[in-house]
Amino acid sequence: MGTHDSLGMRLRSRIRGRERWEVKALRGRPGTAQDLERLLSQRQGVLHVKANPTSAGVLVTYSTDTPDFDVEALIREGFKQLPPPVASRPSGAKSGSAISGILKSFLPRDQALTPPVLSTVGHSVHLLQGLSFVSIVNTARGSGPGFLRSLGIVSTGAQLLVMTGWSLLLTGVDLYLQYHRKEAWRRLGQATQHDLRDQLITRIEKQDVEFFDRYGTGPLIDLVTKDTAQVGEFVERSGDVIIEKALTIAVAGFFIITSAPSLGLIIFLPLPIIFLSSRFFGGKITERYARRGETTKQFNQMLENNLAGIADVKSFTAEWEEARRLSECDAALAQHTLGAERAASLQTNFISGLFSTTFVLTAGYAGFITAGGGISLSNFLRLVYWFPQLLRSLTGIEQVTGLYHRADDSAGRLARVLESYPQIQSGPVRLSAEEVRGEVIFEDVSFGYDPSVKVLENVSFHLRPGETVGIVGPTGSGKSTLLRLLLRFFDVDSGRISLDGNDIRDLDLHNLRSAVSMVSQDVYLFQGTIRENVIFGQRRATEEQILEAMRDAGALDLITSVPGGLDAEVGERGRRLSGGQRQRVAIARALLKLTSGASILALDEATSHLDNETESAFKRSLRKAATGKNVIIIAHRLSTIRSVDRILVLESGRITEAGTHDELLAHEGLYASLWRLQNEDPFGDQLEIRLKR
C-alpha cells in the first residue's frame, strides 16, 4: 500500500495511534525536518512527531480519540505550508551540493550568460597568442605558417613582421577583454550576493522569537555578511578560472597529443586518480570546514556578548578571565582552521605530486623519442611551449577547490536558514485598528519554552474593554511570558487566548501586533536620535503627536536637559541616556502607537527606573492618555498598580489571587504580605522586593 508522488511518500508501518511514513523529500534537509516536526506537533490530535532527515522517516503518534485520523493528509498539508526548498544539503550524500542548490536559486539568469562568453573569447584570444608565439619561433627557423606564403609574404623578415603585428593585436584585445571579463564576473558575483542577502534578511526578519533565541545575534550577522560574501566570491572568481583551465587543458592537450600521441596518453594518466582522490578527500574537507564554521560562530558569539556587556565585565573585573576565554576559543578556531586547510592542501599536494611525477616521466620520455628522431623539431617546440601551460592549469586547480569548499560550507549554513520557516503563522481573520475593542481572554493557558517545563499553567483571566489590570508576582513567575504569548512571540501549548472573541492564532499577525503597544522589561533603544526612537514604527507621526507622547510619558524634560533635544543621539542601545530616560523614551514610543490606533497598552516593569515623583506624574497622565484603552501593568513596586481595576497575582505560573487592592489586602494572601513588606520597610517603596519562588 502507500503511494508515490513528488514528496515520495510511502507508508512504512501503521498501528492505531501511530504511523511511520517515509517521505523522500525530507532526505538531507534537517531544516525542513525540524520545521515539519514543529508544524505538525501543533495540529489537533497530534501527540508527537519525529522527522528524520537522514532516514527520511516521519513518525506520528496521535490521539486515538480522533476518528479517521489521516496522517498522510496531515503530512501533505504540512509540506504545503513549508517554503519550497531553496537548497538541499545532503549530509554525506554524493549529489547536489549546498552551493549548487543556492546558485540554482540565486544566480541571476539574465546576467549569467555574458561573463562565460567573455571568458571563453578572452581566454581563446590568450591561447591564440600562445599559438602565434610558437609560430614566430618556427618562422624564424624558416618554417612559418603556410597561409602567409600563399598570401605572397615569403621573406622570413616580412613573415616575422606580420606575425609580430598579429601578436601585438592579440595582446591588445586580450587586455581589453580581461578588463571587461573581470568586470562582468564581478557584477554577477555582486548580483548573486545581493539577491541572496535580500532574501536571507527577509527570511530572518520573519522568523519567530524562538529562532533568534536559538541562533544568537553574532552568527546571524556572520551569515548575512560573511557567508553571503563567500558565495559571491565563489561566483565572481571560480567561473573564469574554470573556463580558463578547461580551454587551456583542451588546447594544450590537443597540441600535445597531435605532436606526440604516446606522450599525450602518459600525461592524462593521472586524471582518473585525481577524480578518485577528490572523492576520498572531498567529504573530509567539507566536514572540517563545517567544524571550523561552527567554532567561528562560537567565537563571534562570545566576542559579541563580551563587548555588549563590557560594563559588567569591567565592574566584575573579569577582563582577564574573559580575555582568556576568548583566547582559548580563538586557539580552538585556529586549530580547526589549520585542520581544514591541512586537509585541503594535502589533496592539492597529492595532485601536484602526481603531475610533477608525470612531468618528469614525460619529459624524459620526450627526450628519448626526440633524440631517436621520432619527433620533428617543430613538434618538439610545440611540446616545450604547451607542456608547462597544461601543467600550470592542472596544478592550479586548488584555487577553485578552496573557493568551492569555503562557499559550500557557507551555502550549507545559508540553506538551513533559508529553509526554516516561522512556526508562528498569520491567521486569516483581519481586524482593522478601529474595529478592535481590546477584550482579551486567557482561557486555561499553559505554556513552556521547553515543553517539559511548564512556565504557565492553566492561566485564565478576562480583560474587559477599557479596563486596567495589574500583574504582580515573584520574579520568574511568568509575567513577561504572558505578554509574549499575547503578542504571539510564542504560541500556547494548550488553552486559548482571544482578542475580541477571536483566537489570536486565527488573527492576522500584523493586525494583532498593531493592536498591542508594549514597553518591554528590557527597553531597547535603537541607535539614532530620540525622535527616531519615539516615532519608531509610526513614521507619519506629526511633531505635535510626538511632543504629546513625550509629555504624557513624563519625558518632556529630556528635550531641554539632553543636549540636542529630540535630535540627540541616544548611542548604541540607548547607552548615552540614563536608565529612567531610556524607559521614558520607550513609554513615549508606546503611547504614540496608542494614539495611532493600538487598543492595548502593556507595560512590563516600564517604570521601574523612575523615581516616585516622576512615576506618580506618569500615572496621572496615563489615565488621560489611555482613556478607553486596555492597560496591563506588570510591576514589582506595588504602589505602581495599587489603583488599577483588578490585580492578578501570579505564582509559579498560576494565578493564585485576583481582585482590587482592597480585596486582596483583606484576602491576607501573598499580595497582602508583599504590600506590608514594602510599606513597613522604611525604604520599601524604593526597594524592589523580589520574593524567591
Chain residues that interact with Mg ion, rule: CB under 5 A: 480, 521
What is the three-class DSSP state of 150? helix
Per partner kind, with CB cut-offs from 5 to 8 A, the member of Mg ion, ligand ATP, none near residue 679 is: none
Q: Judge contact between 85 and 32, C-beta under 8 A.
A: yes
Per partner kind, with CB cut-offs from 5 to 8 A, the member of ligand ATP, Mg ion, none near residue 449 is: ligand ATP
Per partner kind, with CB cut-offs from 5 to 8 A, the member of Mg ion, ligand ATP, none near residue 476 is: ligand ATP
Among 301, 285, 414, which Cα is nearest to 337's? 285
Give the nearer residue to ligand ATP in terms of CB position, either 316 or 449: 449
Cβ partners under 8 Å of residue 437, min gap 6? 465, 500, 599
Give the nearer residue to ligand ATP in terms of CB position, either 58 or 456: 456
CB of 637 to ligand ATP, least distance (A): 12
Give the nearer residue to Mg ion in terms of CB position, either 32 or 480: 480
Give the nearer residue to ligand ATP in terms of CB position, either 124 or 521: 521
CB of 445 to ligand ATP, least distance (A): 13
Per partner kind, with CB cut-offs from 5 to 8 A, the member of ligand ATP, Mg ion, none near residue 481 is: ligand ATP
In angstroms, rounded to a whole number, what is the distance separating the alpha carbons of residues 332 and 326?
10
- Edge-first strand order for the sheet with 18-23 is 9-15, 18-23, 57-62, 46-52
Q: Judge contact between 414 and 235, C-beta under 8 A.
A: no
In angstroms, rounded to a whole number, what is the distance separating the alpha carbons of residues 662 and 281?
76
CB of 483 to Mg ion, least distance (A): 8
Q: Judge contact between 181 and 122, C-beta under 8 A.
A: yes
Give the nearer residue to Mg ion in terms of CB position, either 227 or 457: 457
**Strand-strand pairing, 440-447 and 646-651:** unpaired
Among 505, 513, 493, 498, which Cα is nearest to 462's? 498
Per partner kind, with CB cut-offs from 5 to 8 A, the member of ligand ATP, Mg ion, none near residue 478 is: ligand ATP
CB of 548 to ligand ATP, least distance (A): 30
Give the nearer residue to ligand ATP in terms of CB position, either 502 or 521: 521
Give the nearer residue to ligand ATP in terms of CB position, either 393 or 420: 420
Residue linked to cell 633524440: 371
CB of 575 to ligand ATP, least distance (A): 22
Per partner kind, with CB cut-offs from 5 to 8 A, the member of Mg ion, ligand ATP, none near residue 333 is: none
CB of 457 to ligand ATP, least distance (A): 12
Own/partner contacts of 265-269, CB < 8 Å, gap of 24 or more, are 266/358, 266/361, 266/362, 266/365, 267/358, 267/362, 267/390, 269/358
Give the nearer residue to ligand ATP in terms of CB position, either 32 or 608: 608
Per partner kind, with CB cut-offs from 5 to 8 A, the member of ligand ATP, Mg ion, none near residue 477 is: ligand ATP
For the record, the C-alpha cell of 678 comes out as 514594602
317: left (phi over 0), alpha (psi -120 to 50) or beta: left
Per partner kind, with CB cut-offs from 5 to 8 A, the member of Mg ion, ligand ATP, none near residue 475 is: ligand ATP
CB of 690 to Mg ion, least distance (A): 11
Cβ partners under 8 Å of residue 548, min gap 6? 595
Per partner kind, with CB cut-offs from 5 to 8 A, the member of ligand ATP, Mg ion, none near residue 554 is: none
Residues that bind ligand ATP (CB under 6 A): 213, 449, 455, 473, 475-481, 521
In angstroms, rounded to a whole number, what is the distance separating the alpha carbons of residues 560 and 421?
46
In angstroms, rounded to a whole number, what is the distance separating the alpha carbons of residues 444 and 110?
55
Give the nearer residue to Mg ion in terms of CB position, either 75 or 606: 606
In angstroms, rounded to a whole number, what is the distance separating the alpha carbons of residues 653 and 481?
9
Q: Which one-letter amino acid corresponds to residue 123?
A: H
CB of 520 to Mg ion, least distance (A): 9
